Chain A
Amino acid sequence: AQSVTQLGSHVSVSEGALVLLRCNYSSSVPPYLFWYVQYPNQGLQLLLKYTSAATLVKGINGFEAEFKKSETSFHLTKPSAHMSDAAEYFCAVSAGNQFYFGTGTSLTVIP
């Protein structure tokens, strides 16, 4: 069975500070992992994806994530938070045709 767990439903960081959003996965097969961002009243936008190539994946808007098999983690990071990063972030694991989403982490950026 596949699932993802996002630790921390709400994360607050100061503008310019490091962003770290945690995601742990469970998968019975080699996973394909994704991070999506959802801005208010908008759909889900793909930030980045891991599909068994490089373990450090770079995405849009300065975000990156590292796949760590030993820790079953795929945490999302950004070195310096910007006000425009305030949004809901979802981690997802793909198993065949279906995606399994985490419960989301709401990121607040404090000026």
Chain B
Amino acid sequence: EDQVTQSPEALRLQEGESSSLNCSYTVSGLRGLFWYRQDPGKGPEFLFTLYSAGEEKEKERLKATLTKKESFLHITAPKPEDSATYLCAVQAPGGSYIPTFGRGTSLIVHP
């Protein structure tokens, strides 16, 4: 059973059209939720870490929020250079240092 589910799988936006990506998780006692951006043919680039419900982080046009069941990555007035796959990962309780990744949302922003 997947612990991390991202939706939608793919999203096409017009430049300037704000939207949100969703990451829902089923682990209890979350130790951390991470967002990454991955460009084609490159390794994922770390964006944010969220630790507790109600927490928010911002970077340029991106804003990540966290509730007890899901996280949203809000993209405000996106530009074509925001096109990428966005990955979400969660860190469950316990001694393991292994996060669980979702399959990602592929975002394309048209000029």
Answer yes or no: do A and B interact: no
Which positions in A face B, CB cutoff 8 Å?
A: none
